[in-house]
Structure 1
Amino acid sequence: MPDLLSPTDGPTADASFGAMRAEAIYDLGHSTIFASRSDPRFSYCTYAPPQTGNEQHPKALVVVVHGTGRAFTEYRDAFAEFAKWNDCIVLCPLFPAGPQGDGNRDGFKFLQEGAIRYDQILLDMVDEVAKKFGADFSRFALFGYSGGGQFVNRFGLLHPDRLWALSIGAPGSVTLLDFNQDWWVGVRDFASQFGQPLNLDALQALPVHMVVGKADIETWEITHRPDGKFFMPGANDAGRTRPERLETLRQSFEAAGVQVHLDLVDNVPHNGLACVDKVQDFFAATLRRLRAARR
């Protein structure tokens, strides 16, 4: 009687097929949501193009950080086509409100909340995704909008050596390269805050982009009041509106020798998805230069 089992049949073949099918569904393309292995209070999703493993170029990583509304999957989806056509993987972290049980929506914006270091949480996620896809993500591009803009403003000051591009979108509050004011308004006490000096050389070498809508002029959410939890002298001095504050940030960067490309988007209020095209243009141009230089 003939053997009805071919070499590709049986439990082993089923397990192998199941693993490949699960990878295709949950890891490639628009991924499911994963808990961070270093701290399961925090999660992330990714977009990895279906051709991952057969790219023209080594994979590059783009990290996009949500704002206070935590629309992290929407930003992931908005960067999917960019990733497909630029041989990139997109990582979008989720920093939920109130991880300490107090309902605080804003802790991640300032990098530190109690014993939590959000910059390290993100770096752990980057390492986890790099291992998953067998990639070198020792440097990555970083974009954040609104509350995420605050996070990436401060992350860029702390870790410029980990980035190949930085895009700061419409932050409500800014940390200036001001050596006459303390953190978070300025960087005078940066070393005592983080246990390391500010790496100005790396920051000066970093391509930096800033973007905000011209119509983003509401101030109800961004004005610091004396009884507010983040109030400190100088908290409102960068300007009334987000465009004013971002312009002040640009001036402080450029005064310190950091070149900045600023996009003011016509007829756009506070809407991060309406600014994504400008960010992608900047990242694509930067990536082309970097890849051409490697060749």
Structure 2
Amino acid sequence: MIRVEDLPAAHPGRRLLTGRTPFFAAPTEPRCSYCAYVPRTWTPEARMPVLVAVHGTGRNVGALREGLIPFADRHDVIVVTPLFPAGIDDPDDVHNYKTLDAFGIRFDLVLLEILDQVRERWNARVDTVMLCGHSGGGQFAHRFLYLHPERVEAVAVSAPGSVTVLDPTRAWPDGTADTRDRFGSTVDPAAIARVPALLTIGADDDGRADLAAMGEPGRSRPAELARLATSLREHGAAVRTAEVPGVGHSAAGTQPSITAFFDDLLTG
């Protein structure tokens, strides 16, 4: 794999591998992929930090990356946007990545392998990363935090339709009772509590009709987010919440609250 620092400054590969990059196949699971935005100020010595932004069910990765470019340029941060495609081994499946494992794929490990490649190609700082996700991406983000808290510097969760609470009596994905058998690791609430968290949602994002249509009658996105906040706080986590006025179920609508959260992290 070519490292950007190995290319001469005038090489066209430098232009291809900074700014908006192409999509790259994930190292050991080529059905998954990722693209990045790398600020043009990139140098190998900078060891830029990384923000991972995880798409929702619609998988609108391009718009997700585009909306984060001003934040990336403001703070010299590399934005990594993985793509976990729909239809893997089931042409109608759109949910595969949300609970981290499906069809024999560990989507959390796919992301860790992507980050290894980001470290190698751009000499990026990926030991810990900022992590955010909207809707299905919010489901992925908080569950990834549960299994890999040591890799997350801060997490922002936007409008998930279902959540996992820190309950060792309930099976995954409702709780954390069987993570040792399922993932080979035990969830550590104390480690999770050390990670700053933002939980955000649009004020007009009820979601009851959507969730009922998907077989979850009686649930709403605000109630799910509140359950997650309560669970995290009961275990000592510092949780910030943000309800965005006039916004429905919109990744772009909650993105300003997410970037403000990370702004505070990087400037405080």
TM-score normalised over the length of structure 1 = 0.84
Instruction: Supply the distance in 2 between the matched residues of 1:33 and 1:102 (Cα, whole angstroms).
Output: 22
Structure-2 residue corresponding to 1:156: 145
- 2:251 counterpart letter in structure 1: G
Structure-1 residue corresponding to 2:223: 244
* Contact persistence 1:182–1:188 (CA under 8 A): yes
Q: Say which SS state the counterpart of residue 209 (structure 2) adopts.
A: coil
* Contact persistence 1:70–1:96 (CA under 8 A): yes
Deviations 1:179-225 (A, max 9, x none): 23221111122222211111222211101111101110132322387
Distance of aligned partners of 1:155 and 1:54 in 2 relative to their CA distance in 1, 3 Å threshold: closer
- Displacement of 1:54: 7.5
Q: Say which SS state the counterpart of residue 92 (structure 1) adopts.
A: strand
* Contact persistence 2:146–2:192 (CA under 8 A): yes
Structure-2 residue corresponding to 1:133: 122
- 2:84 counterpart letter in structure 1: F
Deviations 1:142-189 (A, max 9, x none): 000001111112111111110101111100011111223221111122
Instruction: Supply the distance in 2 between the matched residues of 1:53 and 1:127 (Cα, whole angstroms).
Output: 18
- 2:41 counterpart letter in structure 1: Q
CA RMSD in angstroms, aligned pairs only: 2.0
Instruction: Supply the distance in 1 between the matched residues of 2:70 and 2:208 (Cα, whole angstroms).
Output: 33
Distance of aligned partners of 1:131 and 1:240 in 2 relative to their CA distance in 1, 3 Å threshold: same
- Displacement of 1:17: 6.7
Structure-2 residue corresponding to 1:4: none
Task: Determine which structure has more spread, i.e. the larger CA radius of gyration.
Answer: 1
Any stretches of 5+ residues in structure 1 without a counterpart? 1-15, 229-234, 290-295
- Displacement of 1:245: 1.1
Any stretches of 5+ residues in structure 2 without a counterpart? 1-6
**Identical residues among aligned pairs (%):** 34
Structure-2 residue corresponding to 1:170: 159
Instruction: Supply the distance in 2 between the matched residues of 1:106 and 1:63 (Cα, whole angstroms).
Output: 19
Instruction: Supply the distance in 2 between the matched residues of 1:83 and 1:162 (Cα, whole angstroms).
Output: 20
> Quick one: which of 192, 196, 203 aligns to 2:192?
203
Mapped pair 1:40 → 2:40 = no
Distance of aligned partners of 1:284 and 1:36 in 2 relative to their CA distance in 1, 3 Å threshold: same
Structure-2 residue corresponding to 1:21: 12
Structure-1 residue corresponding to 2:52: 63
Mapped pair 1:53 → 2:32 = no
Correspondence list, 1:60-209, <5 A? 60-209=49-198
* Contact persistence 1:215–1:270 (CA under 8 A): yes
Distance of aligned partners of 1:196 and 1:129 in 2 relative to their CA distance in 1, 3 Å threshold: same
Distance of aligned partners of 1:17 and 1:132 in 2 relative to their CA distance in 1, 3 Å threshold: closer
Counting matched residue pairs gives 262
Instruction: Supply the distance in 1 between the matched residues of 2:188 and 2:213 (Cα, whole angstroms).
Output: 29
- 1:122 counterpart letter in structure 2: L
* Contact persistence 1:58–1:87 (CA under 8 A): no
TM-score normalised over the length of structure 2 = 0.92
Q: 192-201 vs 249-258, which deviates more?
A: 192-201
Correspondence list, 1:280-295, <5 A? 280-289=259-268
Instruction: Supply the distance in 1 between the matched residues of 2:131 and 2:200 (Cα, whole angstroms).
Output: 13
